[in-house]
Amino acid sequence: MQSRVNQSIAELRRKYPSLDEAFSSYVAQYGDGSVKVYEPAKISGTIDPVIIILGRTTPLFYLDSKRMITGSLASVQVEKGKIYILGRREPPDSKLVVWSEYEETELEHYDSRVRIIPSRIHAVILAEEMGDVLFADLGSSSGSILAGESAKPEPFITLYVTSGVGIRKVTIPSKYAKQL
């Protein structure tokens, strides 16, 4: 998956100067190899919506019934075999964007006054050929929160948080529910 994401980012950097600037400045700050795929989470086969929070305050919604990623500004159809890079422009313009093969789309506003805003190169949504849709944090400096419920039904909350230079994925078990 890492090589597919690297190849896609390279292609999209050539197509979109805004992604090239965001990527270049992010790597200059955090170092070569700082953009890594961390433990992909399957977001297909879920009950609408899966909530994706980039940083701590910027929400997006994945609607599996429509195969769509949605923010307050726009929605993007998620197509099989495609990769979608989520991040923000550099210099910041308070908009979260998704870069894809087809277009650069402004999805959501973020509040630049908060301490933790989305990273320039934040996350990836990968729609596999077989139909699964995966979300992965790309080692963002501000982390991600993923919350939803699978069709089984099994609720989940996944927290991608920074830990020094690296990043780790933490699954939080329920504190109040009891099995009878």
The answer to whether the peptide bond before residue 91 is cis (omega within 30 degrees of 0) is yes
Is residue 176 assigned to a domain? no
Q: Is 145 helix (H, G, I), strand (E, B) or coil?
A: strand
The amino acid present at 83, given as its one-letter code, is I
Is residue 48 assigned to a domain? yes
Is residue 6 assigned to a domain? yes
Query: Could you tell me the pTM of the whole model?
Result: 0.88
Is residue 177 assigned to a domain? no
> Given 3-state DSSP classes, what are the helix, strand and coil percentages for the chain, each rounded to the nearest 5?
15, 40, 40
The structural domain count of the chain equals 1
pLDDT given at position 158: 87
Is residue 180 assigned to a domain? no
pLDDT given at position 169: 56
Is residue 62 assigned to a domain? yes
* Rounded Cα–Cα distance for residues 100 and 143 (Å): 21
Is residue 178 assigned to a domain? no
- 176 band by pLDDT with thresholds 50, 70 and 90: low
Summarize pLDDT for 13-30 with one digit per residue, the tens.
999 999 999 999 999 999
Summarize pLDDT for 68-115 with one digit per residue, the tens.
999 999 999 999 999 999 999 998 899 999 999 999 999 999 998 888
